[in-house]
Amino acid sequence: MPTLVDLIKGESQRSDKDKIFGPDFQTPADWSKYLEDQFGDGSEPVSALLRSAVDRDGFQALYVACWIYQPLEKGSFMIELDSPGQVRQGYDTLPDRWSSHLGERGKSAGAGFLFLKGYSELLVQIESLGSASSALFLKCEGHAAISVKHMLSFFTKKITGAGNTASKSLQAQGKDPESVVEPRAAENYSKAYEKLLKAVGLKPKDTMNTVPNVASAMWKYLAARESHTLTAYSTGGGPRDASAVANLRGVKLAECLDKLRGAATNDLGPKDKLRVAVLGAKNDLDTIQANLKTDPAGTQRVFAEVKVTPRQLDERLRDFRAALARG
């Protein structure tokens, strides 16, 4: 499998690097210089930056670090924060930006951002998903919030579950199974997943429906219909009730979600709305379960966003810079 360094060097199939990356990201030397300028040469480059007063360039650098961790055609990253302290100070200096994501209170760090061609805006938010910890939400946008093109993309997302494409070259990479670039990983729900939310009485307009909340609602629905699979799971060591499900995280939640899917498929009638929705959202639920198994401990997931810790970014950045240096 080709690596990101291969893509940057133009050695991967259908590289198109000149159509994907901005002018300051065309060669390994360009990338090395940018990372040196933004992060220095310490052993904890991202962690150290997050402990400082992050400015606009710093938020942009954090997005680049996230993209190095997981290259995406489009999507959103959430960096877990032990404390939002210094990050909050820098965040508060950024200009406000309209947002339809999560808490819907955004800031813009996009001025002068020339990392990915077609994407000139960087949406920044600090979010808390019902836990003591906070997360830094970062998402590249193709256009400023108040623009015709962004509004058109927003309406497309409302209809299809995904916004318009801002980079055809990057989209081609995302569609290529041999590419290091993933096609999409975002926190906003797909249309199939929205149907699942509706089936259990949740509102898709609520952008903060976490996976534990959805699983808890599925449990209530199935328990009310006396699911035999659910009863066997509970008496065999599984959660006792919906409240217990809402407190599950990570691997335990993935296991529970798998049982809930089985119960909906096997115990409900063929036309039952939850059964139909679960089968329709198969790909989404598969992705969510896979992500839950690798999510940072104790964190909550909304949908298919990339969740990462500062330490994971530190390690990835060190490895990536070493690979760049090897040429």
| CB-based contacts of 235, cutoff 8 Å, min separation 6 | none
- Position 162 scores a pLDDT of 52
Q: Where residue 153 falls among pLDDT bands split at 50, 70, 90?
A: very low
Same domain, 247 and 178: no
| 8-state DSSP, 296 | P
Could you tell me if residue 156 is inside a domain? yes
Q: How far is CA 164 from CA 36, 168, 326, in A?
A: 33, 10, 37
Could you tell me if residue 133 is inside a domain? yes
Same domain, 81 and 129: yes
pLDDT above 60: residue 145: no
Could you tell me if residue 202 is inside a domain? yes
Same domain, 278 and 238: yes
Q: Where are the beta strands (DSSP E) in the chain?
A: 72-81, 96-97, 106-108, 121-127, 134-141, 182-185, 306-308
Same domain, 38 and 81: yes
Could you tell me if residue 35 is inside a domain? yes
As a whole number, mean pLDDT of residues 286-311 equals: 91
Same domain, 59 and 172: yes
Would you call 219 exposed, middle or buried from its count of C-beta atoms within 10 A (0-12, 13-18, 19+)?
buried
- Position 44 scores a pLDDT of 93
Range of the domain at 199: 191-292
Same domain, 60 and 200: no
| 8-state DSSP, 43 | S
As a whole number, mean pLDDT of residues 180-205 equals: 90
pLDDT above 60: residue 67: yes
Same domain, 171 and 235: no
Could you tell me if residue 210 is inside a domain? yes
pTM of the complete model: 0.87
Mean pLDDT of the chain: 87
As a whole number, mean pLDDT of residues 204-229 equals: 93
Same domain, 61 and 110: yes
Residue 201 or residue 1, greater confidence:
201
| The two structure tokens encoding residue 308 | 């990462």
Same domain, 240 and 312: no
Task: Work out the angle at residue 16's Cα, subtended by the Cα atoms of residues 14 and 21, and round it to the nearest 5 degrees.
Answer: 140
- Position 152 scores a pLDDT of 45
Number of compact structural domains in the chain: 2
Q: How far is CA 85 from CA 79, 168, 270, 291, 318, in A?
A: 14, 38, 51, 28, 25
Q: What is the 3-state secondary structure (H, E, C) of 64-87?
A: HHHHHHCCEEEEEEEEEECCCHHH
Could you tell me if residue 172 is inside a domain? yes
Per the CB < 8 A criterion, the answer to whether 107 and 95 are in contact is: yes
Same domain, 94 and 176: yes
Same domain, 176 and 76: yes
Same domain, 158 and 15: yes
pLDDT above 60: residue 319: yes
- Position 148 scores a pLDDT of 45
Could you tell me if residue 299 is inside a domain? no
